[in-house]
Amino acid sequence: MTVLDLKPGETAHISDINKNEEDLNYLIELGVLEGTPVRFVKSAPFGDPIEIDVRGFHLMLRRSRAGAIEIAK
């Protein structure tokens, strides 16, 4: 499962990040790390980007980047 499989308001823990090195470093700099709780807040009207809550910060990510964030409920 990825963060894109969550419904608004649902929370899960990040289990892995599968992305190229540049995107991986970008997500790590934002605090998106394994074991961190993540909550799906909402998506834009046409579905891209999405808003997630990580460590109390609301992040807007493109679906292409968010799809690399694997989760475990």
Specify the pLDDT at position 23: 83
Question: What's the CATH number where 42 sits?
Answer: 2.30.30.90
Label residue 4 by pLDDT band (50, 70, 90): very high
Written as one string, the DSSP assignment of the chain is -BGGGPPTT-EEEEEEE---HHHHHHHHHTT--TT-EEEEEEE-TTS-SEEEEETTEEEEE-HHHHTTEEEE-
End-to-end C-alpha distance for the chain, whole angstroms: 9
| Number of domains present in the structure of the chain | 1
Task: Give the pLDDT mean for 52-58.
Answer: 94
Q: Is residue 73 very low, low, confident or very high in pLDDT (cuts 50, 70, 90)? A: confident
Using one digit for the tens of pLDDT, what is the confidence trace for 5-45? 999 999 999 999 987 888 888 888 888 999 999 999 999 99
- Residue 42 structural domain: 3-72
Q: How many residues does the chain have?
A: 73
pLDDT at 13: 96
Residue 53's closest CA among 68, 32, 72?
32
